[in-house]
Amino acid sequence: MMDGLRARVLPEAQRRTLAELAEDLDLTSGDSASKISAFWTMLTLSAVIATAGVLSDSTATVIGAMIIAPLSTPIMGIALGIVNRQRRGATRFVLLGVLLVVGTGVLFSAALPGSYDLLGNSQIASRTSPGLLDVVAAVATGFAGAVALARRDVAAVLPGVAIAISLVPPLAVVGVCLGQGAGWLAVGALLLFLSNLLALVLAGTVVYAVLGYGLVVTGPDRARRRARVTVSVLFLVVVLPLLANTVSTYLISVWTARVQTIASTWISNVPDASVTSVDTRSRTFYVRVRTTGELPPLTDLLEELDGQVPDGLRVVVDSRVGQQLDVGTVGQ
């Protein structure tokens, strides 16, 4: 069965040898000086382009950075090294590359004003709260990239893989957020990068084990057993944090909808008054209202919210004229 699957996914006529694959993924083999020079040059340029694209909120610029980013090469090298149990120094290149991109983001953030709204930038906001769908896309992209690298006839899909898997932009966001002192946003972007990295390693490990690239060194049973254990561990490492984040995002959306409903009822007796939006940031609900009259007692709103949302969350009402009223903390 495994042989049949391998023949369908990677026909023998199109299969690259282990030596050919290692030559592409191992930056220390062959003309290592040229490979390493190209890697750092392109990664540095990609970091600059990605950070500039993020700060200018330009999707096209960020996509350009994704295409030229070489970070997926050592990451796939890690997967190949796991399968055939050979250390190729790929992990070191990944770690140093991460520091380079994050450092670039920190430097660029120095040019931002202190009042810069990070979440008002779609390139930043979209990369600070990853969920399960992000890891599903990353795993599928990893499989596509691993197969494309192993086949001689589908290398043309690699630019698409580079665009689909987000590696450098999240790290640029990490650096920008750290530079602005937004630690939790930086953690969210770092989680997105780590989930994509581990998804690539997971997919690459599965593909290279199934295609037999570990047979030369470890033997068929041992290679597949090692791959299964590695995949299981990586699966847990990737899925559990994202599952927690997905559940948290869902609960926040439910609580936000409840706050909007209750706040609309609270202000319904005021002529021509309405709740325009409810946003949640840092354990605080921001209720934006539009009214030309006096607001009902704020304590009434707090009492209605008691038992509908978790205790300890703050509520702030923003009026049409820009006045911000601290309603208080639910349950206290």
Q: Strand, coil or helix: what is 323?
A: coil
Q: Strand, coil or helix: what is 15?
A: strand
Least confident stretch, 72-76, 173-177, 280-284: 280-284
Model confidence at 292: pLDDT above 80: no
Could you tell me if residue 60 is inside a domain? yes
State how far the Cα of 224 lies from the Cα of 222, in Å rounded to an integer.
6
pLDDT of residue 47: 93
Model confidence at 238: pLDDT above 70: no
State how far the Cα of 35 lies from the Cα of 41, in Å rounded to an integer.
10
Could you tell me if residue 199 is inside a domain? yes
Could you tell me if residue 242 is inside a domain? no
Given 200, 218, 236, the domain boundary residue is 218
Model confidence at 155: pLDDT above 60: yes
Same domain, 16 and 68: yes
State how far the Cα of 91 lies from the Cα of 75, in Å rounded to an integer.
7
Instruction: Give me the sign of the Cα torsion angle 188, 193, 196, 202.
Output: negative
> Which DSSP category does 309 fall into?
B
State how far the Cα of 20 lies from the Cα of 145, in Å rounded to an integer.
16
- Structurally, the chain folds into a number of domains equal to 2
The residues pairing with 151 across neighbouring beta strands, listed in sequence order, are: 15
* Residues of the chain above pLDDT 90, percent: 14
Same domain, 255 and 203: no
Same domain, 193 and 286: no
Are 326 and 302 in contact by the 8 Å Cβ rule? The answer is no
Number of C-beta neighbours around residue 215 at 10 A: 17
Could you tell me if residue 235 is inside a domain? no
Please compute the mean of the pLDDT values over residues 164-185 and round it to a whole number.
87
Q: What is the pLDDT of residues 297-309, one digit of tens each?
A: 888 888 888 888 8
Same domain, 144 and 96: yes
Domain hosting 277: range is: 251-329
Are 106 and 47 in contact by the 8 Å Cβ rule? The answer is no
Could you tell me if residue 26 is inside a domain? yes
Instruction: Using the structure block, give the residue that is written with the tokens 């409840």.
Output: 258
Same domain, 125 and 15: yes
Half-sphere exposure of 313 (CA within 13 A, CB side): 23
pLDDT of residue 166: 78
Same domain, 27 and 108: yes
Could you tell me if residue 54 is inside a domain? yes
Same domain, 100 and 192: yes
Same domain, 120 and 202: yes
Same domain, 143 and 262: no
Same domain, 74 and 162: yes
Same domain, 263 and 152: no
Could you tell me if residue 230 is inside a domain? no
Same domain, 133 and 85: yes
Q: What is the pLDDT of residues 26-67, one digit of tens each?
A: 888 878 889 899 999 999 999 999 999 999 989 889 888 888
Could you tell me if residue 171 is inside a domain? yes
pLDDT of residue 104: 95
